[in-house]
Amino acid sequence: MKYSIVTFGCRVNQADSFVIEEELRRRGAVNAPPEDADLVVINSCSVTASADQGTRQTIRRIVRSNPDVRVVVTGCYATRRPDEILALPNVVRVVSNEVKESLVSVLDADGELTTGQRFDGGDGPCGMTLEPGVAGRTALTLRVQTGCDEQCSYCIIPRTRGTGRSRPLPEVLRDVWRAVDAGYREIAITGVHLGSYGRDLGGGSTLATLVRALSEWPDDVLFRISSLEPMDCTPEIIEIAAHSPRIAPHFHLPLQHGSDAMLASMNRPYTAAYYRDLIDRIRASIADASIGTDLIVGFPGERDQHFDEMVRVIESLSLSYLHVFPYSDRPGTAASSLPNKVDGNEIRARGRMLRQIGEAKARMFRASQAGREVRALTVDDGYSAVTGNYLKVRLGAPRPRNTWIRVTL
């Protein structure tokens, strides 16, 4: 059987798709383009209305080019609105996030898969069937946690992912070993609320415990810590990253807004001053770290003065890049019932301004790195490489993919 997986949204979805793909390959399935596949798995996102639309458009486009394809949809949109998904052409099954990890087993048990004889990849029960380079992948994204217990007023994800659940540390370290043994040189550690890792496990488990274990890994592998809420980026984690070559000098810390009034309305548990101090602490410990953030523009009640506050804060911060998102009502969230919605044209105008600031920040960060000699991992076609502090560079001559090299920026 030929399969294709299309993934939308966050790194957690990327990690989940990797697990699904590995299970399909263990059953003998072969990767193919969507237009040539027998089965297409769509791993959907629902963080914004445009994310929902992207899933619908993609399914219709695939079916137009492949009328006999069977489509299975999972992820957050599938969990939030299964009725809408089932109404789309060729969708044979909707699988919620709650059972996503068992998606392939469920399909197999119900006779949805015709993959032939099972196999284990030849590596025994702990072997990994997906090596670097498969499906365009060089680095591996590994999910260590899912779910979220926070109550951000704009976010639907706690309803689609459930409460916070962490994978036990020995299980995580086993998967790291499998990945390194398969040849991966970079592993991104991710979770829906990554900073809450270990809280549900007891025994003193924390994200810092995990990061410290990774920082002492004996093999030559780089661990990239995925998005962290500002209140979860502790001095201990910063200290570990500053002193271990195994932890990438890269922090993604969603601020969401620069106005304390808007942060309070969003139910974010920190202030702009707290965030500024956090960035300063990181810069003092790791001068060349890449620090990125997420911002929401046009949140209900956002007046000119609130937006101006955000602009002033962002311009004052030593950031490397910005991800700017227009506010999108998610039915069922507290924010969806708030008054004083911002006009769509105004949201777009404010978003453009923030993106321009972000582009300037990115240029400044790249310019600050010029002349440095650093280590990077070759990706894509061998003409590109990614540094530890998240700069993608173009090489003058191709090098073998998934190789550590020294480059002068």
Mean pLDDT throughout 355-367?
A: 98
**Run of H or E residues at 34:** none
Model pLDDT, residue 8: 95
CATH number attached to the domain at 2-109: 3.40.50.12160
Sign of CA dihedral 353, 357, 358, 360: positive
How deeply is 367 buried, as exposed, middle or buried, from its count of CB atoms within 10 A (0-12, 13-18, 19+)? Answer: exposed
Predicted confidence (pLDDT) at residue 59 exceeds the cutoff of 50:
yes
DSSP 159-189: HHH-S-EE--HHHHHHHHHHHHHHT-SEEEE
Q: How many helices (H) and strands (E) does the chain have?
A: 13, 16
Q: Do 2-109 and 138-248 show the same overall fold?
A: no
Closest C-alpha to 289, from 237, 325, 356, 219: 237
Amino acid identity for residue 378 in this structure: T
Q: List the chain domain ranges.
A: 2-109, 138-248, 251-369, 373-408
What percent of the chain is predicted at pLDDT more than 90? 86
> Are the CB atoms for 255 and 299 separated by under 8 Å?
no
CATH number attached to the domain at 251-369: 3.30.750.200
Q: Confidence band (pLDDT; 50, 70, 90) for 382?
A: confident
Specify the pairing of strand 222-225 against strand 165-166: unpaired
Distance CA 162, CA 307 (A): 32
| pLDDT tens digits, 119-148 | 444 443 456 767 887 666 799 999 999 999
Model pLDDT, residue 108: 83
Angle at 103 between CA 102 and CA 105, to 5 degrees: 65
| pLDDT tens digits, 395-404 | 999 999 999 9
Predicted confidence (pLDDT) at residue 196 exceeds the cutoff of 70:
yes
If one counts every other C-beta atom within 10 angstroms of the C-beta of residue 35, the result is: 14
| All residues at 6 or more sequence positions from 253 whose CB lies less than 8 Å from its CB, including other chains | 227, 228, 229, 230, 233, 275, 278, 279, 291, 292, 293
* N-term to C-term CA, the chain: 45
Q: Confidence band (pLDDT; 50, 70, 90) for 381?
A: confident
Model pLDDT, residue 117: 45
Q: At what angle do helices 304-316 and 272-285 cross, to 10 degrees?
A: 10
DSSP letter, residue 247 = B
Predicted confidence (pLDDT) at residue 110 exceeds the cutoff of 90:
no
**What class has domain 138-248?**
alpha beta
DSSP 304-373: HHHHHHHHHHHHHS--SEEEEEE----TTSGGGG-S-PPPHHHHHHHHHHHHHHHHHHHHHHHHHHTT-E
Amino acid identity for residue 156 in this structure: I
Distance CA 181, CA 174 (A): 11
Amino acid identity for residue 47 in this structure: V
| pLDDT tens digits, 221-249 | 999 999 999 999 999 999 999 999 999 99
